[in-house]
Structure 1
C-alpha cells in the first residue's frame, strides 16, 4: 500500500510539473536566435551577456508569443540606465509602453513610484530596490490577468490587468549600459 501511495504521489507531482511546462533558455550567452532586433541599439554578446550602450533605443523581441508564463532573467545596468522587460506586447515590431506591460529597470526614473521593480502605469513598486552596478534577477509571472514581479527574491509588484492577454516579450535598451544573461521562459 505504501508503495502504491508513493507511486501515485510521484505521478501526480510529475503531472503538475509537466502541466506547467519546462523552462526554455532563450539566451544562453552564445547567440540571439530566439530574438528579433527592433530599433538601433548596438546589441552585442560579450562575456556571456548581451549588452547595449549606444543607440536611440532598441529591443530584443522574442520570436514566440506567450500568454501565461514565468520569465527568469538576470540583468546588469549602470546608474543612468533606462531599460525593462516588456511583456505581452500587442505588436512585436513596435514594443512600448502603450502596447505592452513594462517591467521597469530605471533606478533614476523621475517618478520613482514606477522605477525599477514596477509595472509602469499598472503597479507601483512596493519595495524600491536599486539595481545599478550589480547582477540582479527578475522573476516575472503572468497568469490570466494576474502579474507579479520579484526582484532578487523580493516581490516588488503585484497587479491585475487584462489589457494585454498575449504576445512576445522584449528586452529594452533605452539609455546607459544594459546587460542581460540567462533569459528563460516557462509556459504555465
Structure 2
C-alpha cells in the first residue's frame, strides 16, 4: 500500500474544509449559514424551507402551494450598516424572490421594509423594493440600472448608472453583494453595480432591522441561497 506523506494529507484536509464551507470573503466577513442546517434561521412556517445541496432552499409545489409570501429570518439580531455577500439561483415560471434587510416582521410572518429583489430579468432584478408597499409611489424604489435619490418629502429623482444586472444561465449560481451605510444602499449582481439608493424620506428610511430571505407566493418555484456572509460596518 502506498502511503501519502503526512503534510500532503493535512493540505488535502484543509482544502476539503475550505471548499465545503464556501469561499469566505476577507476583511471582517463572517459566515451566517453553516451549509448543513437551518440553525440560526427561523420562519413562521418552516414547511417551505430546508437545506439541499448545501443551500438554504425555499420551495413551493402544486401539492404545497405558497399562498402568502414566506420569509426566513436570520436570528443573529438586527443589522444596520452592513455588507452581505451570498450566492443564489431560482427555478420555475415567473420566479420572484429577494433578500430583506433593515426590515420588520409582522405577527403574520410578513416582512415590511427594504428588499434586494431577485427576478429573471427587467427593472426588478437587482432593484430595491419597498416590501408591503408602505409609502406613496411605486414599490420599486430604484430599478436595475438606476441611481435614485428620495428626498425628505418622498420625491424621487432617478438617473442612469450605465450598468445593469444580468442573470447567469438557468441552473448556475449568481452572486449578490448588498451594502447599506446610513441612507446609502448599493446592490451588485455578478460583480456589476445594478442599483443605488439614497433614501432620505422621513418616516420611511429605515436604518436598522432584520435580515431575511423571501419565497414569493404564486406559481410553484424554488429559490436557493448559499455561501452567506455578513460584515457589520463600524463608523
Shorter-chain TM range is 0.7 to 0.9
Matched, 1:133 2:171: yes
Partner of 1:16: none
In the alignment, does 2:143 pair up with 1:124?
A: yes
Report the counterpart of residue 37 of structure 1 in structure 2: 43
* Compared CA separation, residues 92 and 135, structure 1 to 2 (3 A): farther
From 46, 51, 69, the counterpart of 2:52: 46
Task: Assess if the C-alpha contact under 8 Å between 2:57 and 2:222 holds in 1.
Answer: yes
Alignment-derived partner of residue 206 in structure 2: 164
Match in the other structure for 2:70 = 58
Contact 1:117 1:150 in 2 (8 A): yes
Unaligned runs of 5+ in 1: 1-20
Q: TM-score, normalised by structure 1?
A: 0.78
The reply to whether residue 82 of structure 1 matches residue 96 of structure 2 is yes
Matching residue of 2:224: 179
How does 1:67-78 map onto structure 2 within 5 Å?
67-78=80-91
Pairwise CA distance, 1:88: 0.3
| Matches of 1:135 and 1:171, distance apart in 2 | 16
4+ aligned runs moved over 6 Å, structure 1: none
In the aligned structure 1, how far is the partner of 2:88 from the partner of 2:82?
19
Q: TM-score, normalised by structure 2?
A: 0.63
The alpha-carbon deviation at position 122 of structure 1 amounts to 1.5
